[in-house]
Amino acid sequence: DVKVTQSSRYLVKRTGEKVFLECVQDMDHENMFWYRQDPGLGLRLIYFSYDVKMKEKGDIPEGYSVSREKKERFSLILESASTNQTSMYLCASSLPHRGAGTYEQYFGPGTRLTVT
Amino acid sequence: RKEVEQDPGPFNVPEGATVAFNCTYSNSASQSFFWYRQDCRKEPKLLMSVYSSGNEDGRFTAQLNRASQYISLLIRDSKLSDSATYLCVVRVNAGGTSYGKLTFGQGTILTVHP
């Protein structure tokens, strides 16, 4: 059974703190993603990685950075947390797209981050 | 204009009803299309891919109209367990990389009641 795990389900941090969100997948997937999900806005891509040490900006990378030192692990870093980063953060992984094959992303359970 | 637009609902239907969700996308270079399902306080999961010829999976039928840039999902004989948020998802190829960016609609909320 495929599995994506995230380090915390709930997290409360103070403004200005450095925050690390960890994601681990056990499916040997090349691609990994970080999204945030907010009411009325849906899922928005923050960053993704298609290989170890590779990263690409998504639609809303400002205020975030990422690290992928090992294939199974993808970390999201909030350098200085702000209240507008209060959100649900979802990690996902997938195989690389080839041809017209199904391109399913498997999601972790999410981390609800509150910045006060 | 949003890249993927859905009617957010909510749709409240009785058990046994047929319900249809619509979705439009703005990027004509979009290559692949999907419906994901997200239960309350859970992560999204793939429900089905959407093919140009239309496809069916049990009570669920998905259709694609590339000319109109429109995707639909039809649920027949609704069950209580169908209550969830349904996300319309579109993929655009990203040049020569093996990654294709997925863009999610904001989701349509469905509640099926007894």
CA distance A62 to chain B (A): 18
CA distance B78 to chain A (A): 24
pLDDT at residue B1, as a whole number? 72
pLDDT at residue B79, as a whole number? 98
Q: Which two tokens stand for residue A12?
A: 């409360």
DSSP chain A: ---EEES-SEEEE-TT--EEEEEEESS--SEEEEEEEETTTEEEEEEEESSTT--EE-S--TTEEEEEEETTEEEEEESS--GGG-EEEEEEEEPPP-TT---PPEE---EEEEE-
Look at B46 and A96 and tell me if their CB atoms are within 8 Å: no
Backbone angles phi, psi at B80, to 5 degrees: -55, -35
Q: Which chain A positions have a beta carbon within 8 Å of B62's beta carbon?
A: none
pLDDT at residue A76, as a whole number? 98
Q: Which residues of B touch A (CB under 8 A)?
A: 8, 31-32, 34, 42-46, 49, 87, 91, 93, 97-102, 104-107
Q: At A18, is the secondary structure helix, strand, or coil?
A: coil
Q: Cα separations (Å) of A92 from A17, A59, B78, B112?
A: 25, 16, 29, 28
CB B52 within 8 A of CB B98: no
Q: Could you list the pLDDT tens digit for every one of the 116 residues in chain A?
A: 779 999 999 999 999 999 999 999 999 998 999 999 998 888 999 999 988 999 999 999 999 999 999 999 999 999 999 999 999 999 999 887 665 555 689 999 999 999 99
pLDDT at residue B51, as a whole number? 84
Ordered strands of the A19-25 beta sheet: A4-6, A19-25, A73-78, A64-70
pLDDT at residue B7, as a whole number? 87
Nearest to A35 by CA among A22, A47, A24: A47
CA B67 to chain centre: 18
Report residue B30's pLDDT band, with 50, 70 and 90 as the boundaries.
confident
For range B21-39, the mean pLDDT: 91
Q: Which residue of B has its CA nearest to A5?
A: B43
pLDDT at residue B20, as a whole number? 96
Q: Which chain B positions have a beta carbon within 8 Å of A96's beta carbon?
A: 98-99
Q: Which chain A positions have a beta carbon within 8 Å of B100's beta carbon?
A: 97, 103
Give pLDDT tens digits for B47-105: 999 988 889 999 999 999 999 999 999 999 999 999 999 999 998 766 555 466 789 99
pLDDT at residue A55, as a whole number? 92
Signed CA dihedral, A99, A100, A101, A102: sign only? positive
